[in-house]
């Protein structure tokens, strides 16, 4: 296996598309079929979900507990423990603004300190969904009236769980939500990564090429 000079980086690239159609369009997402030219010159169909993008928040309190929510997810027929998360409702929406909104609506909490924890594609073989996960600290109860929940969120449970318990639950196979698992393991790795620890995380307004936004 060949080595590499310098750090590994994903690189933008777009293979030629000879045709494209959208056989299904839903309320928030769609399904697209592209005919893509392969390196050997052949053409293959690729079906994937077109997604606006999402944000998620690992909200960490002064007792090293993470704010988590338990919510029913119909496609997998489970109630999953998750971190607050939501869609980027408007193209070009500032992800930090969206993250603040989700933390307020789902938990009635605000935070004074924000960092980018990690960026990811949730399932790049079948969806173009990109997620930015923030670390939020210095938590406090939000002012004003609570957001009125509906649909699955009306049945949502809220808890604060020690970070170590969540790490152990993820590694034991007891917790499955991708944003929660990614977030808690990323936070544990950031803490173990060197003397700078969480201070080495990117600022909350760091560029996000997957979903460019205005400051």
- Nearest alpha-carbon partner for 47 in 121, 123, 127: 127
| CA 102 vs CA 83, 87, 98: distances in Å | 10, 9, 6
Distance CA 112, CA 36 (A): 46
Q: Hunting for tokens 């969206």 — which residue is that?
A: 98
5 contacts: CB under 8 Å, gap ≥ 6: none
Distance CA 27, CA 172 (A): 35
Cα angle value 172/175/179 (rounded, 5°) = 125
Q: Is 214 helix (H, G, I), strand (E, B) or coil?
A: coil
Residues with a catalytic annotation lie at 153
170 contacts: CB under 8 Å, gap ≥ 6: 180, 181, 184, 185
Tally of residues, the chain: 215
């Amino acid at each position: 296996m060949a080595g590499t000079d310098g750090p590994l980086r994903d690189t933008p690239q777009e293979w030629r598309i000879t045709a494209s159609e959208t056989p299904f369009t839903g309320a928030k997402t769609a399904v697209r079929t592209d005919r893509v030219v392969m390196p050997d010159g052949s053409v293959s169909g690729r079906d994937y979900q077109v997604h606006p993008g999402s944000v998620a928040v690992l909200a960490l309190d002064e007792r090293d507990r993470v704010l988590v929510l338990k919510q029913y997810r119909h496609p997998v027929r489970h109630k999953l423990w998750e971190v607050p998360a939501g869609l980027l409702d408007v193209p070009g929406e500032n992800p930090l603004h969206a993250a603040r909104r989700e933390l307020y609506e789902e938990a009635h909490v605000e935070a004074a300190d924000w960092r980018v924890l990690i960026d990811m594609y949730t399932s790049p073989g079948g969806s173009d969904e990109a997620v930015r996960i923030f670390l939020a600290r210095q938590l406090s109860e939000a002012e004003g009236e609570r957001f009125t929940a509906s649909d699955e969120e009306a049945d949502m449970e809220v808890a604060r769980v020690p970070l170590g318990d969540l790490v152990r639950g993820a590694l034991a196979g007891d917790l499955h939500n991708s944003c929660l698992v990614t977030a808690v393991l990323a936070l544990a790795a950031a803490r173990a990564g060197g003397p700078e620890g969480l201070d080495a995380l990117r600022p909350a307004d760091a560029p996000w090429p997957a979903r460019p936004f205005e400051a």
